[in-house]
Structure 1
């Protein structure tokens, strides 16, 4: 049985509205799993997190944690009795308390000696053992985040919820904190749900990703599967750049006939669907002097790790394709390029 089980969770903020903030979300999470709820602002991911925490009550559906029903119909366990830790976007540290006292704050039922011992343990775990007597304003953003995580871990919760934990950090620190948070959660075997709108955050920390749109789940998959096999056009575009194009399925169920020619799929289609759409990742387009596709480069954008080319295929009146090229390749607008498409980065989408 799943450690956390959400069944048909729906949230209506106003009874007379027809559009729920969250609509019929079901999700099973295993003990020790790290899950990300990923989607644009207003998609329902934070509302889902708040219903799990107990800050919001579902209009319909049930939530079960570690074999215990914590939300069902009109009955709900109070947030403080759910044994769930919460890390807020702004960390919510008490500025007038030392770091150690911030961590001890949620240990109300513990004896003083046990509180201090547990605070020392979790501060050591997050690499801040020597910072106990400092105050939040004396710490960097990354250090404050680790304190917030230590405070959430201190009561030994069944589950930790993190709401946009990396959004206040600059790019370099963000990457480091993704690694640190994942390491800490793995070391403690903690089950965690992280809300984010950033694909890189979700891909870096998650066992599985739940993509949401307008209150509904679009796809649940591992980062690799999500990227290589997006279920629909929304997922394909939200979890990375892609080229979407319409085509006709060939009789062999392995190729799609498009305006750029036949494109090979990663695997055979399970059924014959005449009119289809495919997603082609830009890095799946490999430059080659003898490539079967060719066109004229319209723009070149230097991205540091790669160059992004927009290429108008010969004779095509359709939208130009996006292709990633190696940074060491000398390419100028107006150049003619040839390329092949890697089947593993081509997917059928709805």
Structure 2
């Protein structure tokens, strides 16, 4: 059974349709990230799931139970969800143990104490039970927040930019730890972020949002290798477009030569390929009218900022394969799963 099912969800701010006929299913113990540019509707979607705002239309089911429809509207505290906010929302006047115990209703003292102890062990904060939030590091506060969110065994966990206030040096270690905790507890989760790197590290699937809709839902690898449209391709990483003509199911011809694809190409005979820097190498050779804007030495690598057909791109290459920047420049494109689109209408 799915932990979350959303059908035709719509919400407006004034005349602006922020969430537009959105559909989403999250399986049990699956972590899905809502990812997209500012204003795409990801935070509003999270608020709709939480019950913090009411949708204009659509149905949300959590753990198989409907939480809205027509006159039905289940309050947030009755939706069997846990929430984890950007600022952690810990109570400053309560110690760690009491923060974790705060949402535990309907339990006697012995049961409540046992659950708090279990959660302290889960997040490895047994020695910090009597401390207050201001006495903890950001990462420790994060662990308290996840322990509190999971303490009453919710069906669904909602996380809103939970790692944005964590120092970059420890962020990905913490992301890995929190992911393992969620997986160990068997909870499904919806995670909102603007960071691709955080999404790749934390989520099982990414839902790329565009103008209130989910443009594509899949694993990070599948989105990178086979984006459904130009928006998804560009969101998944920097690149340049080259006009191309299909000459076989696995080859396209461009001004930079024939490019070989490791997967069958789309049916259209002419279009554009979207090339990422990972699939290109700058060399000295036949002049492809490439302009070099900048070269930087990075120790083990060089960074080259170039212009290809009026599009800027940064390439990093090993210092062992340095090029003569004063000679003619060309690019080699390695065989890969080529992203090939029809010309825009």
TM-score, structure 2 as length reference:
0.91
Q: CA deviation at 1:58?
A: 1.2
- Counterpart in 1 of 2:32? 35
**Within 2, Cα distance between the matches of 1:109 and 1:12?**
37
Select 1:283's aligned residue among 266, 270, 278.
278
- Counterpart in 2 of 1:89? 86
**Within 2, Cα distance between the matches of 1:106 and 1:320?**
52
**Within 1, Cα distance between the matches of 2:273 and 2:221?**
18
Q: Could you tell me whether the CA contact under 8 Å between 2:280 and 2:333 is conserved in 1? A: yes
Q: Could you tell me whether the CA contact under 8 Å between 1:87 and 1:148 is conserved in 2? A: yes
- Counterpart in 2 of 1:326? 318
Q: Give yes or no for the alignment of 1:9 onto 2:5.
A: no
After TM superposition, the structure 1 stretch with the greater mean CA deviation from structure 2, 110-119 or 328-337, is 328-337
The alpha-carbon distance between structure 1 residues 260 and 340, as it changes in their structure 2 partners (threshold 3 A), is: closer
- Counterpart in 2 of 1:311? 306
- Counterpart in 1 of 2:119? 122
Q: Give yes or no for the alignment of 1:235 onto 2:250.
A: no
- Counterpart in 1 of 2:259? 263
- Counterpart in 2 of 1:174? 171
Q: CA deviation at 1:123?
A: 1.4
Q: Could you tell me whether the CA contact under 8 Å between 1:284 and 1:345 is conserved in 2? A: no
Select 1:344's aligned residue among 330, 333, 336.
336
**Within 2, Cα distance between the matches of 1:288 and 1:345?**
22
Deviations 1:230-286 (A, max 9, x none): 222222222222222332333x13222333233223322242x13322221211114
**Within 2, Cα distance between the matches of 1:310 and 1:61?**
47
Which stretches in structure 2 are left out of the alignment for 5+ residues? Answer: none
- Counterpart in 1 of 2:214? 217
- Counterpart in 2 of 1:204? 201
The alpha-carbon distance between structure 1 residues 209 and 189, as it changes in their structure 2 partners (threshold 3 A), is: same
After TM superposition, the structure 1 stretch with the greater mean CA deviation from structure 2, 117-126 or 238-247, is 238-247
**Within 2, Cα distance between the matches of 1:45 and 1:342?**
36
Q: Give yes or no for the alignment of 1:226 onto 2:218.
A: no
Deviations 1:324-343 (A, max 9, x none): 31255445644555543233
Deviations 1:259-316 (A, max 9, x none): 3233223322242x13322221211114567899795643224567854323356xxx
**Number of aligned pairs?**
342
Q: Could you tell me whether the CA contact under 8 Å between 2:68 and 2:74 is conserved in 1? A: yes
Q: Could you tell me whether the CA contact under 8 Å between 1:231 and 1:348 is conserved in 2? A: no
After TM superposition, the structure 1 stretch with the greater mean CA deviation from structure 2, 222-231 or 42-51, is 222-231
**Within 2, Cα distance between the matches of 1:345 and 1:304?**
30
TM-score, structure 1 as length reference:
0.90
The alpha-carbon distance between structure 1 residues 227 and 103, as it changes in their structure 2 partners (threshold 3 A), is: same
**Within 1, Cα distance between the matches of 2:236 and 2:297?**
21
Deviations 1:12-64 (A, max 9, x none): 133xx1x3110011011110101100011111001111111111111111111
After TM superposition, the structure 1 stretch with the greater mean CA deviation from structure 2, 49-58 or 290-299, is 290-299
Q: What's the RMSD between the two structures over aligned residues? A: 2.4
Secondary structure of the equivalent of 2:311?
A: coil
Secondary structure of the equivalent of 1:20?
A: strand
Q: Could you tell me whether the CA contact under 8 Å between 1:2 and 1:31 is conserved in 2? A: yes
The alpha-carbon distance between structure 1 residues 322 and 95, as it changes in their structure 2 partners (threshold 3 A), is: same
**Within 2, Cα distance between the matches of 1:125 and 1:305?**
40
The alpha-carbon distance between structure 1 residues 330 and 342, as it changes in their structure 2 partners (threshold 3 A), is: closer
Select 1:76's aligned residue among 67, 73, 80.
73
Q: Could you tell me whether the CA contact under 8 Å between 2:32 and 2:191 is conserved in 1? A: yes
The alpha-carbon distance between structure 1 residues 242 and 148, as it changes in their structure 2 partners (threshold 3 A), is: same
Deviations 1:202-225 (A, max 9, x none): 011111000112212111110111
Which stretches in structure 1 are left out of the alignment for 5+ residues? Answer: none
